[in-house]
Amino acid sequence: MSESLSLDVGGMTCDGCSERVKNALESILGVDSAKVSHESGIAIIEHRNVSREIMVSSIKQIGYSVDGQGEDFHWKDSAVWKQSAHNTKWCLVGCSIGEFGTLAYYSYSGITSGLELYSNIWYFYAILPLINGLATSVMLETAILMRGQMDFRNALSTAFGMSFISMLMMEIAMEITDLLFTKGELGLMPLAIPFMLLVGFLTPWPYNYWRLKKYGASCH
């Protein structure tokens, strides 16, 4: 005889999240169907004599919480490392557009040549690539979320909230790497680009894993 169970699922913010939870539940032997909504945060499961613990565990294992509780944190979940790497990759693409573009303009125009190192005007021009990188990353994140059927307002809010710290870590790491190559001169050195991308990816990746594993905060 079929039974129905409703679970409060946390960490879902888009249709992709709902689909992941649905697939995880329906892969359990004895689960007939699962209706999952990221908007209400509810999963309604039709099953035949499947324990609640098994269904809760399947949701926690993919990075989401149930009744406010997630899986005990650890650093050994290869699926979460893979998903967090995917999230970090998209963040890196968005951040690089604004930061690299601004630094390349500095080199092309010569607007920052001859600036006194660590002067007020130097700091102004040093911060500008970070701001532009954050802006382009948020724009890209918002576009990706809207493709997942999220409205603009929620997509923009989620893009700001889910990865602002990650983006900032990435931006700062990439610019510091570039400055090491240019010896403090603001501009883009082509030789530094691969190293900037590598450092920009690796710096926030553990944080993104932690956030995804502990809070299920992922939308890509």
Q: How far apart are CA 62 and CA 70, in angstroms?
A: 10
* 202 within 8 A of 169, measured Cβ to Cβ: no
Please check the confidence at residue 29 and state whether its pLDDT lies above 60: yes
**Amino acid type, 69:** Q
Q: Are residues 185 and 85 in the same domain?
A: yes
Q: How far apart are CA 145 and CA 40, in angstroms?
A: 17
Q: Which range of residues forms the domain containing residue 31?
A: 3-66
* 129-164 tens-digit pLDDT: 999 999 999 998 888 878 866 778 877 877 776 668
Average confidence score pLDDT of the chain: 89
* 93-106 tens-digit pLDDT: 999 999 999 999 99
Residue 73 belongs to some domain of the structure: no
Please check the confidence at residue 26 and state whether its pLDDT lies above 50: yes
Domain containing residue 41: CATH number:
3.30.70.100
Residue 151 belongs to some domain of the structure: yes
Q: Are residues 62 and 96 in the same domain?
A: no
Residue 25 belongs to some domain of the structure: yes
Residues contacting residue 38 through CB under 8 Å, at least 6 positions apart: 12, 13, 14, 15, 17, 18
